[in-house]
Amino acid sequence: MITSNVIDLIGNTPLIKLKYPSEISGCEIYGKAEFMNPGGSVKDRTALGIILDAEEKKLLEPGGTVVEGTFGNTGIGLALVCNAKNYNLKVVMPNITVESKRDILRNMGAELHLVDAKPYSDPGNYQRVSENLAQTLEKKTGKKTFWAGQFENLSNYKFHEKTTAKEIFDQTNGTVDGFTCAIGTGGTITGVSVGLKNFNKNIHIACTDSQGSSMYNYFTKGNPEKKGDESITEGIGQARVTKNLENCIVDSSFFVTDSECMKMLYKLIKTEGLFLGLSSGVNICGAIKLGKKLGPNKKIVTILCDDANKYYDKMFNKEYLQSKNLPIPDWL
Ligand code: PMP
């Protein structure tokens, strides 16, 4: 393959059959290798979807500025797309994210604003600070400034509906029985649920929620109420129903602890050569639970959101793992 633009490499990721998860669930479990996107995560799709939509709606001028609040991966995706398309990028990020994500953003030339981690109800929350920054900048410069707003911007889920869902359906020749993933903005699960249900309404969609998040209780009891202690995972966990999530179609929900997630990630490193990031562990544990629920020989797909390279400070830091009472891989 020869391409003249890195943007062409976003999406069309392969499905990998996961051996151990398939074995213990009695199903065929596949992971969509989103870590193979050029920015290294599933969020390259969100970044591209949002920018293409903004261009179409003339919300972005040539050489214009994009502002976004992100836990990191959307920022990296936006940095890649904005640089390739000659836009400026300003990113607001909570200061609890791993250092490596900040370094990548700085090294890609994005302007980084770190803020304390605050709940969405607080005006100091990174998403709200980013919206405010876009408005202030527009007033100050008199130039159009585009706030990407991935949580509320519906082009996030629509791009997943158009690309991720279609790819999963085509790659399984329409034989996929179930899909599950965790929720950050809800763009992935909403887009894939709407897309797959349009192909075949019997495809089962499950939310897999991490500890410290409110989506398990939302989908099972109707109210977003936090379950379990804060998670060490990044990019997932949600306390409110975002605009993207309002469109989501979910049939069942599973809950995965950090301890289950870490055990799975270490197992897959050593037995399948898969060096996956934190949220992928939650997704795979959820896929196994969905497989067990749907019964033997079903085809289940989940998302391998990013790889482990950004998470060394957590995943391979003995003291940190000990302090969180999490399993430690025997090679550390
Ligand atoms: N995993 C990782 C590593 C992420 O960065 C994100 C995005 N926040 C997600 C999962 C969740 O995806 P979504 O925002 O589409 O719900």
Which atom in ligand 1 lies closest to the alpha carbon of residue 157?
15
Q: What is the Å distance from ligand 1's center to 140 Cα? A: 32
pLDDT digits (tens, 9 = 90+) for 5-26: 999 999 999 999 999 999 999 9
pLDDT digits (tens, 9 = 90+) for 235-294: 999 999 999 999 999 999 999 999 999 999 999 999 999 999 999 999 999 999 999 999
In this structure, what token pair is assigned to residue 247? 């469109």
Mean pLDDT of 213-229: 97
Ligand 1 atom 2 nearest Cα:
235
pLDDT digits (tens, 9 = 90+) for 83-128: 999 999 999 999 998 899 999 999 999 999 999 999 999 999 999 9
Q: What is the Å distance from ligand 1's center to 188 Cα? A: 8
Q: Cβ < 6 Å from ligand 1: which residues?
A: 41-43, 71, 73, 182-188, 234-236, 277, 279, 305-306
Q: What is the Å distance from ligand 1's center to 184 Cα? A: 5
Pocket test for ligand 1, best of 44, 73, 314 (most atoms within 8 A of CB): 73
For residues 94 and 117, give the distance between their C-alpha atoms in angstroms, rounded to a whole number: 5
Ligand 1 atom 4 nearest Cα:
235
CB 181 within 8 A of CB 208: yes
Which atom in ligand 1 lies closest to the alpha carbon of residue 238?
16
Mean pLDDT of 310-322: 97
In this structure, what token pair is assigned to residue 225? 């109420």
In the prediction, which pLDDT does 98 show? Answer: 86
* pTM of the complete model: 0.97
Ligand 1 atom 11 nearest Cα:
184
Q: What is the Å distance from ligand 1's center to 68 Cα? A: 15
Pocket test for ligand 1, best of 188, 218, 244 (most atoms within 8 A of CB): 188
Q: Where are the alpha helices (DSSP H) in the chain?
A: 19-25, 43-56, 73-85, 99-107, 126-141, 155-160, 166-171, 187-199, 215-221, 258-272, 278-294, 312-315, 318-323
Ligand 1 atom 7 nearest Cα:
235
Which atom in ligand 1 lies closest to the alpha carbon of residue 72?
5
Percent of the chain scoring above 70 in pLDDT? 100
Categorize the per-residue pLDDT at 197 as very low, low, confident or very high, splitting at 50, 70 and 90.
very high
Give per-residue burial for 69-107: e unless 16+ CB within 10 Å, then b.
bbbbbbbbbbbbbbeebebebbbbbbeebbeebbebbee
Phi, psi (rounded to 5 degrees) for 42: -60, -25
The structure tokens 């992100």 sit at 70
Ligand 1 atom 12 nearest Cα:
184
CB 69 within 8 A of CB 131: yes
